[in-house]
Amino acid sequence: MSDEKKPEKLVRTDEEWRKLLTPVQYDILRNHGTERAFTGPYVNDHDPGQYLCAACGEALFEADTKYDSGSGWPSFYQPVSSASVDTKGDGTLGMQRIEVRCARCGGHLGHVFNDGPAPTGLRYCINGGALKKVPPK
């Protein structure tokens, strides 16, 4: 994971986001919602490719960093770049977690935990509805 320059911020109005996103995507990305475990896209997907932010197209995760955590959400051990995601403390639902957001558009992606595999020991637990997968180049 490199320490690249953060992407230029993409700012849109709430009305613009509502027009661009499906209701599920809007709920996850703009309202910090979540999909029920094992119901979202990509949970069982193991094909090559890259996962982008469904809102703005920012490259977030490579398929070769995805693993089956058993959590019910797509899990990755690292983003494509330290610049592609932002993290922030999240005390909602009566627990302390670290929220993961798209660095470009600020969309809520999920949370990161310290119980992942080597080499990072991290588990980026990401809502499939916040992602768009594209085939490898």
pLDDT tens, residue by residue, 69-104: 999 999 999 999 999 999 998 877 677 889 999 999
Q: Is residue 38 part of a domain?
A: yes
Q: Confirm whether 7 is domain-assigned.
A: no
For residue 19, the SS3 value is helix
- Across the chain, what does the average pLDDT equal? 94
**Model confidence, pTM:** 0.92
The answer to whether residue 87 sits within a structural domain is yes
CA dist 49 and 39 (Å) reads: 21
Q: Are 110 and 98 in contact (CB under 8 A)?
A: no
Range of the domain at 78: 14-134
- Our measurement of the distance from residue 79's CA atom to the centroid of its chain's CA atoms, rounded to an integer in Å, reads 9
Measured CA angle at 34 (ends 32, 40), to 5 deg: 140
How does pLDDT run across 17-43, given as a tens digit for each residue?
999 999 999 999 999 999 999 999 999
Single out the catalytic residue among 53, 56, 102, 125: 125
pLDDT value of position 90: 82
In a domain, 4, yes or no: no
Q: Decide if 43 is inside a domain.
A: yes
The answer to whether residue 125 is catalytic is yes
Here the CATH number for the domain that contains residue 43 is 2.170.150.20
Decide if 54 is inside a domain: yes
Instruction: Tell me if 35 sits within 8 A of 28, measured CB to CB.
Output: yes
Structural domains counted in the chain: 1
